Amino acid sequence: MDLQGFDANTVEPNTSFEPLPAGWYTCVITSSEEKPTKAQTGSYLQLNLQVVDGPHQGRTVFERLNLNNPNAVAVDIAQKTLSSICRAVGVMMPRESSELHDKPMSVKVKIEPASNGYDASNSVAAYEAAGAAPAAAAAAPAAPAAAAAAPASPPWKKTG
């Protein structure tokens, strides 16, 4: 790859790769890819979920679904997680993972503590439809009842 013309003075460097704080985020799946397992005995679907609003907008969380694995428990967990994702984005019978892309959903992120030489990281604990009660309650600071009752446009839609 030719880097002629690149000027680091004009591009902000990456910031910390610290995990996102635990909580609910509005995210979209930006990409998906089937990858072989480390043991080469199956494959998993890697989903890249990007936060689309708030102070962590642009950050990415990863989901790995062991849909093709000799371990039946791993496949069952992956299928249940995929079902949660499909319900959250309103695509009940996808034929391709790309059908799940760019559809907002609420994602509950948790922090996995550092272990075995790896730094702390994020994992996904739950998926809900965008604007579902758990995400809305966790994402917004406490507000007076009148302000909380006022309708708001979804955070992923730009207004004005």
Q: Is pLDDT of 142 > 80? A: no
- What is residue 136's predicted lDDT score, i.e. its pLDDT? 44
Q: Is pLDDT of 108 > 80? A: yes
Q: What are phi and psi of 50, to 5 degrees?
A: -110, 130
In a domain, 140, yes or no: no
In a domain, 7, yes or no: no
Which percentage of the chain shows pLDDT scores above 90? Answer: 71
Q: Has this prediction a pTM greater than 0.95?
A: no
Handedness of CA 150, 102, 123, 83 (dihedral sign): positive
Nearest C-alpha neighbor of 124 from the set 50, 74, 44: 50
Amino acid at 101: H
In a domain, 98, yes or no: yes
In a domain, 75, yes or no: yes
In a domain, 41, yes or no: yes
- What is residue 159's predicted lDDT score, i.e. its pLDDT? 43
Measured CA to CA, the distance from residue 135 to residue 105 in angstroms comes to 9
In a domain, 144, yes or no: no
**Domain count of the chain?**
1
For 46-90, write each residue's pLDDT tens digit.
Answer: 999 999 999 999 999 999 999 999 999 999 999 999 999 999 999
Tokens found for residue 85: 């994702």
For 115-132, write each residue's pLDDT tens digit.
Answer: 999 999 999 999 999 987
How would residue 44 be classed by pLDDT, with cut points 50, 70 and 90? very high
Measured CA to CA, the distance from residue 147 to residue 121 in angstroms comes to 35
Which structural domain, as residue segments, surrounds residue 76? 27-133
In a domain, 18, yes or no: no
The DSSP line for 29-73 is EEEEEEEE-TTSS-EEEEEEEEE-SSTTTT-EEEEEEEEE-S-HH
Per-residue pLDDT, averaged over 3-21, amounts to 84
